[in-house]
Amino acid sequence: MTELKNDRLLRALQRQSVDRTPIWMMRQAGRYLPEYRATREQAGSFLDLCKNAELACEVTMQPLRRYPMDAAILFSDILTVPDALGLGLYFEEGEGPRFRKTVRSEEDLAGLNTFKAADDLSYVMNAVRTIRRELNGSVPLIGFSGSPWTLATYMVEGGSSKDFSQVKRMAYDRPELMHQLLALLADAVADYLTEQVHAGAQALQIFDTWGGALTAAGYKEFSLKYMQRIISRLPKEADGRKVPVIVFTKGGGQWLPAIADCGAQAVGIDWTTDIATARGLVGGQVALQGNMDPTMLYASPARIREEVATILAGYGHGPGHIFNLGHGITPGINPDHVSAFVDAVLELSPQYHSAS
């Protein structure tokens, strides 16, 4: 494999010294970029874009051409696994992702397709290989998946939900059925992420978007337990380097000590958690990723710079911080404001690493 020219992200994820805080953005390849919108139109649909390796590579590279990011993230969707299990993923304008089938009974669970990531999601692996070739060692490539609990919410609800009534009903009234579904998903995700590493992913993120909808006890039972199961089964090294894992539970700031114990090298935090508090809770156990409010990017460049300075000061000196938003960038952001955001991190962060 090509030698990695910028390993700042991988070093920070292992809490090793770096010259400045590395930065990337969740959804950095997305609708806020006009070139992304043009490529999506060329593809015909979002799913067609995901399934075309060359176009998925193109949109992955687009933000790197504009901004000096320290990582690329695979362009795909968190719902590829449920789609491969046979639920029939489609996207409805204004409604987000939907499934033609749901999983609400033993019969539904038994009717799911058998799953082998290398075969059933070969288009994702083709995209990973294509992106790695195109990156040519410039920055590392992050692979990802949704967490079992987050995938289950879509599979049981049939799409997005505001109150999660169906999936919570299953969790609390039929926990044995929920655990069967989550175990199946954990094994599928472990296989999926392992294949991404084999195809060339150099770091991994598990998106637990809806873990924060659970109670404290429910989170440990239905979400964290299964992410631990996945992490324990992932390759620890590839190409002579460690493959770090980031766990991001939106709304999970109150459970940081438990999340830090899950086996991941880094924990992503959203904007509702103060980063100084978070660092105090996890100590030097894991790296922290985050955590500017994405809507801060609607503010003036001066205000954005001020917020970056506040977060950097909150984390303080030393390694183990990856700058990111507290969730994905929203579509209406001015790309020039992203430049202000990235430039601020590049200019202001080196002072926190001088003694590293």
Beta strands in 127-286 (DSSP E): 141-146, 203-208, 237-238, 241-242, 245-249, 266-268
SS3 (DSSP) at 57: helix
Q: Would you tell me how many other CB atoms lie within 10 Å of the CB of residue 206?
A: 27
Distance CA 256, CA 51 (A): 35
Distance CA 114, CA 84 (A): 9
28 annotated as ligand-binding: yes
29 annotated as ligand-binding: yes
User: Can 108 be counted among the known catalytic residues?
Assistant: no
305 annotated as ligand-binding: no
User: Can 31 be counted among the known catalytic residues?
Assistant: yes
86 annotated as ligand-binding: no
The pLDDT, as a whole number, for residue 356 is 42
Question: What does the block give as tokens for 329?
Answer: 């960038």
The pLDDT, as a whole number, for residue 92 is 76
Distance CA 126, CA 145 (A): 16
The pLDDT, as a whole number, for residue 93 is 72
353 annotated as ligand-binding: no
72 annotated as ligand-binding: no
User: Can 133 be counted among the known catalytic residues?
Assistant: no
User: Can 174 be counted among the known catalytic residues?
Assistant: no
Write phi, then psi, for 141 (nearest 5 degrees): -105, 125
The pLDDT, as a whole number, for residue 1 is 56
Burial (CB < 10 A; 0-12, 13-18, 19+), residue 284, is exposed
27 annotated as ligand-binding: yes
314 annotated as ligand-binding: no
Question: What does the block give as tokens for 168?
Answer: 């919570």
Q: Where are the domains of the chain?
A: 8-352
The pLDDT, as a whole number, for residue 135 is 98
Q: Does domain 8-352 have CATH number 3.20.20.210?
A: yes
The number of helices, as runs of H, and strands, as runs of E, in the chain is 17, 11
- The pairing of strands 241-242 and 237-238 is antiparallel
The single residue of 31, 37, 98, 241 carrying the catalytic annotation is: 31
The single residue of 37, 66, 77, 303 carrying the catalytic annotation is: 77
The pLDDT, as a whole number, for residue 355 is 55
77 annotated as ligand-binding: yes
The pLDDT, as a whole number, for residue 200 is 98
| pLDDT tens across the length of the chain (356 residues) | 578 999 999 999 999 999 999 999 999 999 999 999 999 999 999 999 999 999 999 999 999 999 999 999 999 999 999 999 999 999 877 668 999 999 999 999 999 999 999 999 999 999 999 999 999 999 999 999 999 999 999 999 999 999 999 999 999 999 999 999 999 999 999 999 999 999 999 999 999 999 999 999 999 999 999 999 999 999 999 999 999 999 999 999 999 999 999 999 999 999 999 999 999 999 899 999 999 999 999 999 999 999 999 999 999 999 999 999 999 999 999 999 999 999 999 999 999 997 54
Query: What type of residue sits at position 337?
Result: H
SS3 (DSSP) at 162: coil
The single residue of 32, 67, 154, 192 carrying the catalytic annotation is: 154
Q: Which of 173, 261, 277 is nearest to 218 (CA)?
A: 173
User: Can 169 be counted among the known catalytic residues?
Assistant: no
